[in-house]
Homo-oligomer: A and B are copies of this chain.
Amino acid sequence: MAFYAGKKVLIIGGLGFIGSNLAHALVQAGATLSIVDARLEDHGANDFNLSGIADQVSVTMADVRDRAAMTKAVSEQAVIFNIAGQTSHVDSMVEPWLDNDINTRGQLVLLEACRAVNSEVKVVYCGTRAQYGAPQYTPVDEHCPMLPIDIYGVDKLAGELYHFLYQKICGLRAVSLRVNNTYGPRHQMKHAKYGVQNYLLRLALEGKEISVFGDGNQQRDLNYVDDVVQAFLLAGEKEEAVGQAFNLGGQEPLTFVELVAKLIQYAGSGSYKHVPYPPDRAKIETGDFVADIRKAQKILGWEPKVSLDDGLKKTVEFYRQFKQHYF
């Protein structure tokens, strides 16, 4: 990734799952990397995620909602990866305030900071499949109606729309990646509130029984985190991507219960049983979700390269080695 060599790059939310994996790739590519992270409790930030590159990254503890900090952080950056967010679907339905505050107002704080001091910067926004809610058809392309079924999805949709508006307001060069279910190293493993596939792997590794809600036959489409990182790097580089949103998705969909069986297979332990949906989960279940990724293939030149089998092997290996930092 010669594009990033010597470039000033900022990751907002860089201590979390996708952000920190992206940080490793950017350091390797020779970027001059800064990270801002609020280190909100239980939100996925983990200092160990920068293990091996910590001395090559400037890390500032600051919240995306802090205008002074954002104005300072975005100044003079060539590319900003905006990955900060409240990401629990369930929490957003129990108590909408934090989600609304981070995922709508916080986005405006960041964008206003850019408008003030770096108005035409490239910003890659981390969107989500939750923007589509229970999709009206699959595979889901970028024209599929966006009718979120949780507060999180509404707020992330608003955040994405804000980004594209700032192109009009001040020339900002925004791109959105609507991220699908992503798994891999450096995900938080303390609870199932986001990235459930990661937490279930922990349960399997600990030899526990996994509860599959309902029949588990809903289709899921997974990406190994390295593939997602590649998509972010390409989105940050390509000018053709400006003003565009792209769905991400994996090589082959599988059912949720098939995924659980694979987690157990690669963990070498654990089991599962079917249980009825808890009401709070039933409300936000999207049903089948399979992404149509042709737009990302065509415009970003992106391809998911890591098979689920290879990805799960690497993931199991990582958490076996470093579980004291995550479990």
Residues of A within 8 A of B (CB): 93, 96-97, 100-101, 104-105, 108, 112, 143, 145-151, 154-155, 157-158, 161-162, 165, 168-169, 283
Contact = CB atoms under 8 A, between A and B. Distances in A.
Contact of A101 (B105, B145, B150): B105
A138 to B, nearest CB: 18
Q: Find the residue from A100, A101, A149 having the highest chain B CB count within 10 A.
A: A100
Number of copies: 2
* Interface of A, helix, strand, loop or mixed by DSSP: helix
A40 B147 CA distance: 32
A149 B146 CA distance: 16
A155 B112 CA distance: 16
Nearest to A155: B158
A145 B162 CA distance: 16
A177 B151 CA distance: 21
A148 B161 contact: yes
A165 B150 contact: yes
Contact of A158 (B97, B154, B168): B154
B104 A97 contact: no
